[in-house]
Chains A and B, each alone.
Chain A
């Protein structure tokens, strides 16, 4: 009797129950509270405030900027991401494996650190490149101005296109090349094959990547805050940030923030809807347990020029800004020349050992993102498994809850978390690291769900059915069949969470307390306080941690794979 009971409520069910609970408490409640606070005051509909805020020109302006930035970044990232993904998986580009790694490097570089670097390189009067060009060609005015929408879009694209790249490169690699070959044998030309076979098969990957980029840039704080606010360009997150600080953090400002957030939720919902329209064309289960090598397009004479172009792209978007950050980080004070007597490692010593604020920030970010990544990954697998593969009643609630965090931007999550966890419901996490932790889980759950369900959708049902037919339980088939197959997806989910969380800014900038600054917040605060050289030094440290972290994780995952 007891055995049967436990046989039914196995470890999978318990974990699933906990996962759903986490999803509800951490994600659903904060978002619902946002909408509730935005719409109602003391139980009645708050039309007056809503109309007041919506009729302000600043609101339109911010919404327009958010949309223009998101649109521009998404289109550009998709073009660049697809092009490079195709280059490394379907052509005979030399050093392909190295190039594949190199194209992922921009993803490691936090976009707001990129913005900081580009501000140093391209600000109109003092940017190093501008000054260099003015001197060389004796120009009258600086050729570039990074401040403005163009600059914001360019910088965000540089560091977000890997989202598309990863997804599309993955899709291309997993794709069964026999499909293309049979088309070719039937006499179809390259164009027809690309249009009728390759592109539709890539579409889920492209759409998933583009969606991540769109949602990310729609509600991104760091780059617009660094490159936009000075010239009066606000998007919704920077607007919310300013509103809250303009009125001394009063509840009225938080309410204004919730109304602006609701606009973001709607905009994100529309993007999500658009993606669904694209995907409605059909889902494909293309991993069928077979594997073959696709035929590669010969680049011939273009081989070397394209290689040089790719390397140049990496150099300009990654190496140049990184070097700038490292160099400025050694200066005694900002604006002086790079001479030996002006440069030292004094700043590094100061922020690593002497300054408690920066020391705390490094540590906080490290353990917060590690913990968030682990938990989110495990919960994400279970939930997406239920959504994609299981047939249980009430699944639509899960599906809805699964989509919800995906359409909720970081700023909104921060506000929701403040409303939920500052004592109103008995638990007060305000000013502690825990409030950032729950916000991270809420924020990154979407990444994990997306990555895991994309991987799960491509596992053919037949494989699991075979296991079940042989008498395996849900848990056994999950453990022995599904998880090994989606392991790359899980590892991807871990990366997609751990590395962004490590340099997270949008959410933590609204949540940090006196002793819980994260690396992102500390760099942003140092920049805002005019400690440009310390900001650059800390950014260099962050970059080093990210690179080392990546190497360590790679090692760990390799050894566990060998252990299996």
Chain B
């Protein structure tokens, strides 16, 4: 027993050292982008910037904000840069003075529905949400939003939990803004299901547990490329959500953070984004033809067909919208 405790003790000390060992400039990104997207970006960025110890924490926007709130309370921020799709959060952070101002030299090439004119954050990707459906179970794909209220989607349409997923929350807000709450009431009557994260509903659709779902573009495309039984469609009124990136105020790694943003907005960074199946925010980056063949639209079309949303107004309504949505979906059960 003594031997074990000695080994253990040595091990603990050893880890204490490893944890504090000095590295190059550190950079911690909190992002809602999944591994399939951020992993590729990390690989290329690390290769080009070997002096930066880059790491990221990938989770839904709700979790990221909860983590940051807890870190703020503890007085020690781990996060250096934040990149997710819940646009209102960025306005709120800016309002609270939590963001560092940075205008990247690349930002003049950025084309986006939202843009912070003062440079506290900038969109780095244009996310779209498709309706993903299981090809085995749904013979004729839905064409518009009303098709989802059909009997063939009864008890089979899923939406990710807006408390966990930023894209899901903004989607709900956009649909309410465009079609009103009645749309979700009808959907709830048709047995719509609130799932967990934005990725899980896609996997549940691929397995056939759900018949169709709102799916972030690159997640669905990644799975289609791996052979999943999924198809995607974009109705005329599109869910187009910019994913802003911003630097946390007071970060000790400001220079590294700025270099990451420059890289992400550059043509090279945006080409990586387009290759993974989501929309670049630059006009000079083309979408690969094989992804267009799956049903993807171009950045120009997406911006044109996008549903409107007043992000600043939505900022204060977040909790109310999530509560009302959950209540409507659950009331029908």
Taking beta carbons and an 8 Å cutoff, which residues of A are in contact with B? Answer: 123-126, 229-232, 242, 244-251, 253, 332-336, 342, 355-357, 367, 370-371, 374, 378, 418, 422-423, 428, 430-433, 513-515, 525, 527-532, 556, 560
* Bound Cα distance A170, B78 (Å): 48
A230 touches B194 (CB 8 A): yes
B35 touches A514 (CB 8 A): no
* Bound Cα distance A499, B13 (Å): 23
* Bound Cα distance A246, B66 (Å): 8
Residue from A125, A334, A355, A514 in contact with B78 in the complex, judged by beta carbons closer than 8 Å: A514
* Bound Cα distance A357, B58 (Å): 9
B209 touches A125 (CB 8 A): yes
* Bound Cα distance A530, B198 (Å): 7
Residues of B within 8 A of A374 (CB): 4-5, 8
A513 touches B319 (CB 8 A): no
- Asked if A333 meets B193 with Cβ closer than 8 Å, knowing A246-B62, A246-B319, the reply is no
B75 touches A428 (CB 8 A): yes
- Asked if A525 meets B226 with Cβ closer than 8 Å, knowing A418-B70, A423-B74, the reply is no
Residue from B196, B219, B319 in contact with A247 in the complex, judged by beta carbons closer than 8 Å: B319
Closest A residue to B35 by beta carbon equals A355
* Bound Cα distance A123, B76 (Å): 42
Closest B residue to A514 by beta carbon equals B57
A428 touches B196 (CB 8 A): no
A333 touches B65 (CB 8 A): no
Shortest Cβ distance from residue A533 to the other chain B in the assembled complex, whole angstroms: 8
B75 touches A531 (CB 8 A): no
Shortest Cβ distance from residue B230 to the other chain A in the assembled complex, whole angstroms: 8
* Bound Cα distance A356, B46 (Å): 14
Residues of A within 8 A of B19 (CB): 432-433
B199 touches A528 (CB 8 A): yes
B69 touches A370 (CB 8 A): no
Residues of B within 8 A of A230 (CB): 193-196
- Asked if A532 meets B203 with Cβ closer than 8 Å, knowing A336-B228, A355-B35, the reply is yes
Taking beta carbons and an 8 Å cutoff, which residues of B are in contact with A? Answer: 1, 4-5, 8, 11-12, 15, 19, 28, 30, 34-35, 39, 55-60, 62-63, 65-71, 73-76, 78-79, 89, 134, 137, 156, 161, 163-164, 193-204, 206-211, 219, 223, 226-229, 319, 322, 329-330, 333
B228 touches A334 (CB 8 A): yes
* Bound Cα distance A410, B63 (Å): 19
Residue from B11, B63, B69, B226 in contact with A250 in the complex, judged by beta carbons closer than 8 Å: B69
7 contacts between A and B (CB under 8 A): A126-B204, A249-B69, A253-B66, A513-B67, A514-B30, A529-B200, A530-B203
A244 touches B4 (CB 8 A): no
Residue from B71, B203, B219 in contact with A431 in the complex, judged by beta carbons closer than 8 Å: B71
- Asked if A229 meets B196 with Cβ closer than 8 Å, knowing A125-B209, A332-B226, A333-B223, the reply is yes
B227 touches A333 (CB 8 A): yes
A232 touches B11 (CB 8 A): no
Residues of B within 8 A of A371 (CB): 8, 11-12
- Asked if A430 meets B202 with Cβ closer than 8 Å, knowing A374-B8, A528-B164, A529-B34, the reply is no
A242 touches B163 (CB 8 A): yes
Closest A residue to B1 by beta carbon equals A560
Residues of A within 8 A of B70 (CB): 249, 418, 422, 430
A422 touches B199 (CB 8 A): no
What 20 new A-B contacts, CB under 8 Å, besides A232-B329, A422-B70, A529-B199? A245-B62, A245-B66, A245-B163, A245-B164, A246-B62, A248-B62, A333-B206, A333-B227, A334-B203, A335-B229, A355-B39, A357-B35, A378-B5, A422-B73, A423-B74, A430-B70, A431-B71, A514-B78, A530-B198, A532-B200
* Bound Cα distance A229, B160 (Å): 12
Residues of A within 8 A of B156 (CB): 125
Residues of A within 8 A of B69 (CB): 248-250
Shortest Cβ distance from residue B167 to the other chain A in the assembled complex, whole angstroms: 12
Residues of B within 8 A of A515 (CB): 55, 57
